[in-house]
Amino acid sequence: MELWYTEKQTENYGITAKIEKTLHTEQSEFQRIDLIETNQWGKMLVLDGMVMTTDKDEFVYHEMITHLAMNTHPNPKRVLVVGGGDGGAIREILKYPSIETAVLAEIDGRVIEVSKEYLPEIAGKLEDPRVDVQVVDGIKYIHDNKNSFDVILVDSTEPVGPAVGLFARDFYQGIYEALKEDGIMVAQSESPWFNSELITRVFKDIASIYPVTRYYTASIPTYPSGLWSWTMGSKKYDPLEVDEAKLIEPENTKYYHKGMHKTVFTLPKFVGELLK
């Protein structure tokens, strides 16, 4: 008998994939964790019924949450990822020769362990000596580490349950304080199709704290609606003002390249309207 998995992305719409095999399922202290094998997308990590990453399209999300900030900052040495227990953002951060320490602050240690076991292409760099894995509440971590980071990436789940706090103005203010004087943050900010009110509010909140606020999108087929977005808050550097001759071409990317560093901020009209 065929088994199918559906993520209900709105009250009236979902995305469905045929399950070849369930490789792992558990209820951790924080959430249900499923690792399923699909023909269409390879292995798929699902948290509380929501797709977090898949073998075949993970590169878009992990490259795009990482390289716009990393390549805008002229010398990122100390970087923090809040959430992101699958390790994909850490893998991309380590492509910058300036990196001294990449801290992963993930609340659920089981996500890290399951990812290491089943998603080695994504999580494989978590063992790198430059990586400091902290199984900790990211909100508390940034509160306890002020003026510490060049770049902070917020790689959260959807804004439900405990993750709601990772979309709050207070949290973006806490990140501001955890950044050094010229630091940059990027937060994943959901789908322009399905989360328009959230995007408007998050952009406004970040713009009320950071002198430079930018928003960009990319296509991720397994995420709700297939169109995903990120919001950048920067204390000093503007990605639209960088000297393109100084941009790094990160190795082994499949989506990001330095030629798109500025063009990615050009938005479709209906998306740009959300930011007014």
**Where in the sequence numbering do the catalytic residues fall?**
155
Sequence letter at residue 172: Y
Q: Which of 15, 50, 135, 271 binds ligand PUT (CB under 6 A)?
A: 50
Q: Who's near 131: CB < 8 A, 6+ residues apart?
A: 90, 94, 101, 102, 103, 104, 125
Q: Which of 172, 223, 237, 256 binds ligand PUT (CB under 6 A)?
A: 223
Q: Which of 51, 104, 142, 166 binds ligand PUT (CB under 6 A)?
A: 51
150 a known binding residue? no
Cβ proximity to ligand PUT, 49 vs 124, nearer residue? 49
Cβ proximity to ligand PUT, 51 vs 105, nearer residue? 51
Residues in 184-203 that interact with ligand PUT by CB under 6 A: 188
Specify burial of residue 23 (Cβ count, 10 A radius: 0-12, 13-18, 19+). Answer: middle
55 a known binding residue? no
Q: From the CB of 57, what's the least distance to ligand PUT, in Å? A: 11
108 binds ligand PUT (CB under 6 A): no
189 a known binding residue? no
Q: Which 8-state DSSP code applies to residue 263? A: G
17 binds ligand PUT (CB under 6 A): no
Residues in the chain: 276
158 a known binding residue? yes
Q: Who's near 256: CB < 8 A, 6+ residues apart?
A: 63, 64, 67, 68, 250
- Helix spans in the chain (H): 58-70, 88-93, 109-118, 120-123, 138-144, 169-178, 196-207, 269-273
Q: Extract the annotated binding site.
A: 31, 62, 86, 106, 137-138, 155-158, 162
> Which residues make up the interface to ligand PUT (CB under 6 A)?
50-52, 155-158, 188, 223
